[in-house]
């Protein structure tokens, strides 16, 4: 049967080529259109950015971007390769070098410190310089570094954080916290010497360091509540109980520090979020739990797939060109989690969902006053090859899809997407597993890997940076990752580099209500 499938794929590959692609004029015309677009970019957009939006695809390396592009096209009943992601439409593209100061292949904490705080750091540390040693609380004092979120707040902007991970995760926490260990979510995860040394857990810093963050949406609420306190949504499950040793209720603390006369709302459910009158809300904190939540979704190719529970992405709403002054990161964090589990399908569907948010941001904002940047903290060891036909064999959805060839060593088929290492390493009867005998299109399928590991690792290659809007041309070529927030701050006239800014551009106060700030929650489960 598998031999028949491969033969059919080879025989049909020629007939699958779209007719227009057989005409040389199609390619010439496409190239000329691209050339005209490139020539228009010679007129640089040097406006001051009133809004900043940073989309961070956690683990979204270049191979993930390419595969997600194909998947998006296939979900739209197209072949896929010719499709464009929303981020592909951004006119400026750069590469960022992701290494940490003490690691060639980075982790999410050191990279977050780079692209949010503008300073490279050691792996496992958040919001501190490379003078801090992981786990050493006593090396932290005086080594704290501030983020672009702080610079924006000091510049009078409304700010927000939205993530599909816990809000105390390494990626979002670099926006507000300073920690010698990314895993110190609450004091319940901290060692005695760190507590005795006066270091604060990350959840506490979320409430105390920048208490006037307008929007915080994510997961990980158990780190906000006293140890063993029952969870509001899962009251009978021990793993969801509170973890705080200090017995504090940080949600109440968050509410109590808000200025008199300001309305602060805490929500944990989609229902409560949609019921809010945002014109009467000044501060919003939303915390769910942090799981993959299966939801039957049938794509264009007929495959059900799970999506993560999340709040979605925030964007400034309103008509394009409406004056707004907002800033903040939005993280697609489950790309990383899917890759770590060797589940390429989950990772790529998450990347497509992040791209939907990017598209919405593009439609709701104007490049004349909004700088949007899309990048990744690091890549993964996912690669793909052996795919000579279009599309992947007989419309089997990518990922992973069978390559239209067999190994010339063990004479077995293989999927087009593979990992360098990870949990997909399987030996059956002393040989590589025959993937034609398993459901490789299932969302939980773990793609084969060359080296066995319980969790697949990050990759060390450069990641892409896509930019659109005022001063987007500053993101070009190959840069150190820590350059990103400096370029964004320059565009918005915030932070220390403001010599080029007029007083009018640099000093206007922000609006005091949430409605001009909070946008769409596009992935509500």
Residue 21: phi, psi to the nearest 5? -75, -10
Annotated ligand binding at 458? The verdict is: yes
Spatial CB neighbours of 137, under 8 Å, sequence gap ≥ 6 = 180, 193, 194, 197, 198, 199
Helix or strand (DSSP H, E) at 346: helix 344-364
Annotated ligand binding at 340? The verdict is: yes
Catalytic residues: 108
CB of 231 closer than 8 Å to CB of 222: yes
Annotated ligand binding at 410? The verdict is: no
Which alpha helices (H) appear in 56-134, and where do they start and end?
Answer: 62-75, 108-117
DSSP strand E in 83-220: where?
Answer: 92-97, 158-166, 215-219
Residue 64: phi, psi to the nearest 5? -70, -40
Annotated ligand binding at 377? The verdict is: yes
Annotated ligand binding at 339? The verdict is: no
> Which residue shows structure tokens 């060692």?
191
- Residue 381 in tokens: 């060891």
DSSP character for 422? E
Neighbours of 477 (CB within 10 A): 8
- Residue 456 in tokens: 């697949």
d(CA 134, CA 462): 24
d(CA 289, CA 273): 15
Annotated ligand binding at 336? The verdict is: yes
DSSP strand E in 399-439: where?
Answer: 402-406, 413-415, 417-422, 427-428, 431-432
DSSP strand E in 294-390: where?
Answer: 307-308, 326-332, 370-375, 379-380, 382-384
Annotated binding site for Mg(2+): 58, 169, 171
Annotated binding site: 58, 169, 171, 336, 340, 377-378, 458
């Amino acid at each position: 049967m598998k031999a028949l499938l491969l033969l059919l794929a080879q025989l049909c590959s020629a007939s699958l080529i779209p007719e227009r692609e057989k005409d040389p004029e199609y390619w010439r015309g496409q190239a000329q259109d691209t050339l005209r677009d490139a020539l228009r970019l010679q007129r640089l957009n040097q406006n001051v950015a009133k809004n900043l939006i940073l989309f961070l695809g956690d683990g979204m390396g270049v191979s993930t971007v390419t595969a997600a592009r194909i998947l998006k096209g296939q979900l739209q009943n197209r072949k896929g390769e010719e499709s464009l992601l929303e981020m592909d439409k951004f006119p400026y593209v750069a590469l960022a070098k992701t290494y940490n100061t003490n690691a060639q292949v980075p982790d999410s904490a050191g990279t977050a410190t780079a692209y949010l705080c503008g300073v490279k750091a050691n792996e496992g540390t958040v919001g501190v310089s490379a003078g801090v040693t992981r786990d050493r609380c006593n090396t932290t004092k005086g080594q704290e570094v501030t983020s672009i979120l702080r610079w924006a707040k000091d510049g009078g902007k409304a700010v927000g954080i939205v993530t599909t991970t816990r809000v105390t995760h390494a990626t979002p926490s670099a926006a507000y916290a300073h920690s010698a260990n990314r895993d110190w979510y609450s004091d319940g995860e901290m060692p005695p010497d760190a507590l005795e040394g006066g270091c604060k857990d990350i959840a506490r810093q979320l409430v105390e360091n920048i208490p006037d963050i307008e929007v915080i949406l994510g997961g990980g609420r158990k780190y906000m509540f006293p140890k063993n306190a029952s969870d509001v949504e899962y009251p009978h499950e021990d793993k969801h109980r509170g973890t705080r040793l200090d017995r504090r209720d940080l949600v109440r603390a968050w509410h109590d520090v808000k200025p008199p006369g300001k309305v602060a709302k805490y929500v944990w459910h989609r229902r409560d979020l949609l019921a809010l009158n945002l014109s009467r809300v000044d501060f919003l904190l939303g915390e769910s739990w942090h799981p993959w939540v299966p939801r039957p979704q049938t794509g264009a190719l007929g495959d059900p797939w799970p999506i993560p529970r999340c709040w979605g992405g925030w964007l400034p709403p309103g008509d394009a060109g409406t004056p707004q002054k907002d800033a903040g990161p939005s993280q697609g964090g489950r790309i990383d989690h899917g890759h770590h589990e060797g589940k390429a399908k989950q990772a790529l569907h998450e990347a497509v969902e992040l791209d939907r948010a990017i598209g919405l941001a593009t439609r709701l904002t104007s490049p004349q006053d909004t700088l949007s940047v899309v990048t990744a903290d690091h890549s993964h060891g996912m690669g793909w090859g052996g795919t000579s036909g279009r599309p992947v064999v007989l419309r089997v959805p990518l990922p992973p899809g069978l390559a239209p060839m067999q190994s010339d060593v063990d004479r077995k088929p293989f999927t087009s997407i593979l990992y360098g290492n990870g949990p997909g390493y399987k030996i059956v009867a002393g040989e590589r597993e025959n993937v034609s005998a398993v459901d490789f299109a299932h969302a939980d399928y773990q793609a084969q890997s060359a080296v066995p590991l319980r969790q697949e690792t990050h990759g060390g290659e450069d990641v892409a940076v896509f930019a659109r809007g005022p001063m987007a041309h500053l993101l070009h070529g190959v840069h150190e990752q820590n350059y990103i927030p400096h370029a964004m701050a320059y565009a918005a006239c915030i932070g220390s580099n403001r010599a080029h800014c007029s007083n009018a551009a640099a000093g206007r106060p922000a609006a005091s209500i949430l409605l001009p700030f909070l946008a769409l929650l596009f992935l509500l489960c």
